[in-house]
Structure 1
Amino acid sequence: MSQPSPSDTPRLVVCAIAGSLRRGSYNRALLRAAQEVAPDSLDIRIFDRLGDVPLYNADVEAEGDPEGVRALKDAIREADALLIATPEYNHSVPGVLKNAIDWASRPPRGSVLAGKPAAILGASPGMTGTARAQSALRQAFVFTQTPAMLQPEFLLGRANEKFDEAGRLTDEGTRTFLKQFLLALEAWTLRLRD
């Protein structure tokens, strides 16, 4: 019996979300770089509609998920894994990202986040590269039962020195590490699936 060729092997779909609404966000740029360096076995799809997700309100939820929330949940549901690039605001996760996680965590039983393999990364002009925000997001993922990859960590500090004016990641060492990080996410996803 012959082995399937690499082209026959289905690609893993990764839903990538940047926790920033800013067009020039380093974290959005980091996800675009991830698309560029990803192995052929990963299909990284950036969900770029956080601005369409309203503030969480149980009264609104009781009437049915708004369209932006449905789109978010569908993107996560259809993916094999989740990749979140978070900025750090006031030592924590930006409100827009936390709001999206709050919506995606509903309903508490059967949420699209439950059991979804995830990886967290972040870019910042500061030296710590979003370490505190990533830690806060991991705490939220404990409650949502979202298994976040522990290692390697991806904490891109001094991001302003590693992207060009067009938002392209130009630092070759960072590009190489990003590819290794994505390979680790692939292995994490396959491990949890098996």
Structure 2
Amino acid sequence: MSVRILALVGSLRAGSHNRQLAEAAAGLAPEGVTVEVYDGLAEVPFYNEDTDTAAGAPEPAARLRAAAEAADAVLLFTPEYNGTMPAVLKNAIDWLSRPYGAGALKDMPAAVIGTAFGQYGGVWAQTEARKALGVAGARVLESVELAIPGSVTRFADTHPSEDAEVITGLSAALQQVAEAVAAPAGTAS
């Protein structure tokens, strides 16, 4: 079975440790699993019902929806900004939640992982992202957890793909997401 995981990164910074983490995940994907790191969240306008009509959505939002619809699962990589997830991730979830009850995230396996500078690795942001994904209709994989603290110092001289603990955690997360795709909806996560 082939599994396509769409990776959405909550940091727009070129040198983002969460982007590096997502790129490491793409390189660690097990056989039969593809991780596509989505580029383009910066171009997606803030959600506005006036621009999301039956005639269509703005092109960047439509492109995001198409990428999600082509995926089997979504994996968010989030830093923590002021104790919560970045606006760019919340905005992506908002666009993917529409139309209400039938958005691209409906019943899709979704997990949240990431790294942050703080001592808890962004767990507050991850909790908020899981909550928003659940409200948006995704099948949130609560058991998938990876919060890597101290990103600024931990990855100052080392790429996440060279960190044994990160490799182990990422590999486990990817395996859990792939298994959730194979499991029928309604299965406990």
TM-score, normalised to structure 1, is 0.89
Q: How high is the sequence identity, in percent, across the aligned residues? A: 35
The answer on whether the counterparts of 1:18 and 1:86 sit within 8 Å (CA) in structure 2 is yes
Q: d(CA) in 1 for partners of 2:175 and 2:135?
A: 26
CA deviation digits over 1:155-178, x for unaligned, max 9?
011123443558453211211221
Equivalents in 1 of 2:39, 2:115: separation in Å? 17
Q: Pick the structure with greater CA Rg.
A: 1
Q: Is the 8 A contact 2:72 2:181 kept in 1?
A: yes
Which residue type is aligned with residue 10 of structure 2? Answer: G
Q: Does 1:48 align with 2:33?
A: no
Counterpart amino acid of residue 16 in structure 1: A
Q: Does 1:95 align with 2:87?
A: yes
Q: Which runs of 5 or more structure 2 residues have no equivalent in the other structure?
A: none
**Partner AA of 2:101 in structure 1:** R
CA distance in 1 between partners of 2:123 and 2:92 (Å): 20
Over the aligned positions, Cα root-mean-square deviation in angstroms equals 1.7
Counterpart pick for 2:66 among 63, 71, 74: 74
TM alignment of 1:158-169, pairs within 5 A: 158-163=150-155, 165=157, 167-169=159-161
| Aligned residue pairs, count | 185
Q: Which residue of 2 aligns with 1:128?
A: 120
Matched residue SS, 1:59: coil
**1:145 and 2:137 equivalent?**
yes
CA distance in 1, matches of 2:27, 2:154: 15
Give structure 1 stretches of 5+ with no counterpart. Answer: 1-9
Which whole-Å CA distance do the structure 1 matches of 2:144 and 2:160 have between them?
23
The alignment partner of 2:19 has SS state of: helix
Give me the TM-score of the superposition, normalised by structure 2. 0.91
